[in-house]
Amino acid sequence: MQQTQLIRSSTFLWALAVAGSFALFVVALFAFIYWKLDAYLVARSDRMITTQIHFVAELPPARRVSAIADHLAQDSRGVQYAGLFDAAGKRLAGNIDRLPRELGLDGAAQGVQLDLLEKPTAHGPVVRVVGSRLEDGDVLVMGRNVDETREISSVVGQALALGLLPAFSLCLLAGAWLSLRAQRRVEEVNQRVQRIVAGELRERLPEGGTDDPFARLARIVNGMLDEMETMINALAGVGNDIAHDLRTPLTRVRLALERGRTHAATLEQLQDVADKAIAGIDQSLAIVTALLRLTEIENNRRMAGFGDVALGEILREVCDVYDPIAEDKHVGLGVVTECNVQVWGDRDLLFEAVANLVDNAIKFTPSGGRVDLALQAEDETALVRVSDTGPGISEQEREAVLRRFYRSDKMRNTPGVGLGLSLVAAIVKLHGFRLIIGPAPGGRIEILAWTGSAGRPIARRSRALLHAEAGQMG
């Protein structure tokens, strides 16, 4: 199994292909060299024997026999052949036994099988021969052994064996090693991922010290895992918060019902108990509704409801709705919109966000104070500011207020679900805007919106923002 996997792995197959083509190339190269060398040697032999036959033919007939003998005597390696035959084909001199029948006597070199006087080897050597009929009718034959090419070919073969085979095996080995290494890393990653899937959220992929693509990929995945862990932990925290916050009203309901069941004597008393129970259940439902709304906004990636929204109009409308509330609480409520700015967004959601901010501001501003709404515009940005004369949000609380259900201790007795600011944060995030919480004393929350064409591509969920949010959530 392991072996077939190894052979099938693409790394190994690539190595095999490279090694194969390398071998083919080298063999072709050697073949070319051999062929060229052979041709060169033959041509050289041909020139040599042609020169020699001219030399001997030019000699007076009487000296030819001794010249041939001399010539053969000088050849210590035994690669030269010569023969002088009379017109009848009878040998007069030289080491060639018989005149080869197929030899043309026109002075051109030919490859011919020679019958020699002494037969040193089993097979007749490959010989280049040139023959010439002399003017006295004799036939002169000169030849040269070109068996050297065979030696060359054996040398070439040895070179191939010595060079090519190790190279080829090395290639294969490297391929096998690389693919094994990749497989091992994949297997390791797989095991870690399985652990993560099984719920071990702390697990990370091995990054290694190197900077190879694998390590880089691991780093990227680890970055993603970091973010997901933060998010999952935040969600788990939310689950706890929901449970705790739902418990309070439900406990009240339970106590009221339990006491009412045993103690209510009259119909009015029972109705009173029922009213209390309904109020408690309504409060629980309000929490559930607000949560669902938050999830709805956070999950809403579609920009179906988006269009051009006049921020000034929204501010004036919110002011209009909350004016009587503020008046009842003796809190001044004012709005300053110095310009008419349009942003790309969902009108209803932006209204909800601003309404939530104003709602909060009025709630936490003591009687006699002020809440002010302002809209400012600059180049590509618009700033919606809701400021009040209340206690504001302290440095330590700044991140916590965006968490779901967070209510600072001093607000514990204030009615509300505690989801208001997280809702605002979710809406702001959906639009790609920024939520800025100003320093205490005095509450100041700003929404920084992008106007003009810069605001259109909402996909600007920059990493910096994401990290900031993760930090706030954690």
Partner 1 sequence: MTRILLIEDDTETAEAILAELGDRGFEVQWAGNGVEGLARARASSPDAMIVDRMLPGVDGLTVIEVLRKEQVRTPVLVLSALGAVNDRVRGLRMGGDDYLTKPFALIELVARIEALLRRPSDSRETILHVGPLELDLIERTARRGERRLDLLPREFRLLEYMMRRSDQLLTRAMLLEEVWNYKFVPATTNLIDVHMGRLRHKVDGSGETQLIHNVRGSGFVLRSR
Positions touching partner 1 (CB under 8 A) are 275, 278, 285-286, 289-290, 292-293, 296, 304, 320-322, 324-325, 328, 348, 352, 355-356, 359-360, 362-363, 415-417, 420
Q: From the CB of 420, what's the least distance to partner 1, in Å? A: 5
Cβ closest to partner 1, residue 71 vs residue 347: 347
Q: From the CB of 286, what's the least distance to partner 1, in Å? A: 7
For residue 329, give every residue at least 6 positions away whose Cβ sits within 8 Å of its Cβ, in sequence order, or none: 362, 365, 367
Cβ closest to partner 1, residue 86 vs residue 320: 320
Cβ closest to partner 1, residue 60 vs residue 415: 415
Cβ closest to partner 1, residue 169 vs residue 414: 414
Cβ closest to partner 1, residue 128 vs residue 431: 431
Q: Which two tokens stand for residue 429?
A: 């995030």
Q: Are 175 and 16 in contact (CB under 8 A)?
A: yes
Q: From the CB of 275, what's the least distance to partner 1, in Å? A: 7
Closest by CA to 447, choosing from 340, 366, 359, 374, is 374
Cβ closest to partner 1, residue 166 vs residue 324: 324
Cβ closest to partner 1, residue 115 vs residue 328: 328
Q: From the CB of 464, what's the least distance to partner 1, in Å? A: 30
Cβ closest to partner 1, residue 53 vs residue 318: 318
Cβ closest to partner 1, residue 304 vs residue 459: 304
Q: From the CB of 443, what's the least distance to partner 1, in Å? A: 15
Q: From the CB of 422, what's the least distance to partner 1, in Å? A: 12
Q: Are 324 and 317 in contact (CB under 8 A)?
A: no
Q: From the CB of 336, what's the least distance to partner 1, in Å? A: 20
CA 216 to chain CA centroid, Å, is 8
Cβ closest to partner 1, residue 170 vs residue 278: 278
Q: Which two tokens stand for residue 125?
A: 């050597």
Cβ closest to partner 1, residue 109 vs residue 419: 419
Q: From the CB of 418, what's the least distance to partner 1, in Å? A: 9
Three-state SS string over the chain comes to: CHHHHHHHCHHHHHHHHHHHHHHHHHHHHHHHHHHHHHHHHHHHHHHHHHHHHHHHHHCCHHHHHHHHHHHHHHCCCCCEEEEEECCCCCEEEECECCCCCCCCCECCCEEEECCECCCCCCCCCEEEEEEEECCCCCEEEEEEECCHHHHHHHHHHHHHHHHHHHHHHHHHHHHHHHHHHHHHHHHHHHHHHHHHHCCCCCCCCCCCCCCCHHHHHHHHHHHHHHHHHHHHHHHHHHHHHHHHHHHHHHHHHHHHHHHHHHHCCCHHHHHHHHHHHHHHHHHHHHHHHHHHHHHHHHHCCCCCCEEEEEHHHHHHHHHHHHHHHHHHCCCEEEEEECCCCEEEEEHHHHHHHHHHHHHHHHHHCCCCCEEEEEEEEECCEEEEEEEECCCCCCCCCCCHHHCCCCCCHHHCCCCCCCCHHHHHHHHHHHHCCEEEECCCCCCEEEEEEEEHHHHCCCCCCCHHHHHHHHHHHC
Q: How many residues make up the chain in this entry?
A: 474
Q: Are strands 381-388 and 370-378 parallel, antiparallel or unpaired?
A: antiparallel
Cβ closest to partner 1, residue 86 vs residue 348: 348
Q: From the CB of 299, what's the least distance to partner 1, in Å? A: 9
Amino acid in the structure at residue 111: G
Q: From the CB of 323, what's the least distance to partner 1, in Å? A: 9
Q: From the CB of 387, what's the least distance to partner 1, in Å? A: 19
Q: From the CB of 271, what's the least distance to partner 1, in Å? A: 11
First to last CA, the chain: 46
